[in-house]
Structure 1
Amino acid sequence: SSPAASSPAPSSPAPVPDRARTSARVVLLDDEGRVLLLRGHDPTTPEAHFWFTVGGAVEPGESLLDAAIREIAEETGLHVDPDQVFGPMWRRVAVFPFNGEVLHSEELFFAVQVPAFEPGADGFTDLERRMSLEHRWFDPAGVRELVGAGESVYPQDLPQLLDEARAVAARHREPEVRAIR
């Protein structure tokens, strides 16, 4: 028999990724205990909004840490030193449609704590502008309310993960990469 005939048929077709991408993501916390989230939408489906942490794709030749620092600057206007960035602490793998293609994304999360500040949008890329990104600070209860209201928040377990991120950012806990949703 042929190899195709001996392999089981998938129960449902899974999306086939157009490309793989590694992203550096940052749980950006302020000294008031809040986390900064961005809200945006897929440019191809503007009616579906979602909330997510600062971060984005690692560029060729760039380290994860350098990508995290660059993404903080681009998406908020804040410049942080490498010694303020702790991690990676979490790894999330997701396959999802975005901007007309299917991405296979491996996201590695860092934790950073900074004094409260007003984020800027001057560094947004063209794509980020098309996503209609906006910033908002949330206390832990506010993140739980978002999830409770049925809003899409990534990572999905962020309300339960914030204490861990705060401990890593404050150097009370040594990060050890573990999988999250």
Structure 2
Amino acid sequence: MPSVSMRHSVRAIILDEDDRILLCRFAIPEPAGTVVWAAPGGGIEPGETLLGALRREVREEVGLMIEADPPHVWHQEVVAPGHAAGYDGVINDYFLVRTVVFEPRGELSDDELAAENISELRWWSLPDVSGCHGRDLFSPRDLAGLLGALITSGAPTRPVPLGL
């Protein structure tokens, strides 16, 4: 059986005091014009722990310093060649980070963010997410339902397994 190469990433579900979520706008070149709003985060580097990678990625992308160990709330595995360039799929581990609202500005320059296909950072309310019916996508696709459950019920005792 051929080996499957998965990109392992961490993502932060950053919620402010009004339960708004901070999302990154990823403008993906292929397929042409695809826009995906997703939680900040990224790939785990060799030798990094999940939380070490989470702290680094969030600091770099949005400028938030994560002090405590946030709860691990969702686990996603998507095996789909082409879903992540050079990989057969992705594994995303999501952590819940509560904070007061802040102006997102990380350590990365605009050019460095653009190299990662990030073109905007925006706070979204749950009604904004659930009411968005344009061509833009959310990741995970059922972000509104998952976010609603997280806001209503709090962090689960074990990470919830997700699909696409």
Normalising by structure 2, we get a TM-score of: 0.83
Q: Deviations over 1:90-134 (max 9, x none)?
A: 111122526753442111111011000010143259663231421
Comparing 51-60 and 16-25, the one that deviates more? 16-25
Name the amino acid aligned to 2:77. Answer: V
The counterpart of 1:151, out of the listed 124, 131, 136, is 136
Which residue matches 2:61? Answer: 75
Structure holding more helix per residue? 1
Question: Which stretches in structure 2 are left out of the alignment for 5+ residues?
Answer: none
In the superposition, relative to structure 1, how do residues 17 and 37 fare at CA in structure 2: closer, same or farther (>3 Å)?
A: farther
Which residue matches 1:13? Answer: none
Secondary structure of residue in 1 paired with 2:71: strand
Answering whether residue 47 of structure 2 is matched by residue 61 of structure 1, we say yes
Comparing 105-114 and 115-124, the one that deviates more? 115-124
Residues of 1 paired with 2:83 and 2:105: CA distance? 24
What pairs up with 1:89-128 in 2 under 5 angstroms? 89-94=73-78, 95=80, 97=82, 100-123=85-108, 128=113
Residues of 2 paired with 1:22 and 1:125: CA distance? 24
Kindly indicate whether the alpha-carbon contact (under 8 Å) linking 2:11 and 2:94 is maintained by their aligned counterparts in 1. yes
Question: Which stretches in structure 1 are left out of the alignment for 5+ residues?
Answer: 1-15
Residues of 2 paired with 1:55 and 1:76: CA distance? 9
Q: Deviations over 1:44-102 (max 9, x none)?
A: 5552211111111111111111111111101101112033x111x21111225267534
Which residue matches 1:10? Answer: none
Displacement of 1:159: 0.3
Residues of 1 paired with 2:111 and 2:157: CA distance? 33
Name the amino acid aligned to 1:93. Answer: E
Kindly indicate whether the alpha-carbon contact (under 8 Å) linking 2:28 and 2:34 is maintained by their aligned counterparts in 1. yes
Aligned positions, number: 160
Residues of 2 paired with 1:117 and 1:17: CA distance? 43
Kindly indicate whether the alpha-carbon contact (under 8 Å) linking 1:23 and 1:58 is maintained by their aligned counterparts in 2. yes
Residues of 1 paired with 2:7 and 2:25: CA distance? 21
In the superposition, relative to structure 1, how do residues 132 and 61 fare at CA in structure 2: closer, same or farther (>3 Å)?
A: closer
Secondary structure of residue in 1 paired with 2:128: helix
Normalising by structure 1, we get a TM-score of: 0.76
Kindly indicate whether the alpha-carbon contact (under 8 Å) linking 1:17 and 1:104 is maintained by their aligned counterparts in 2. no
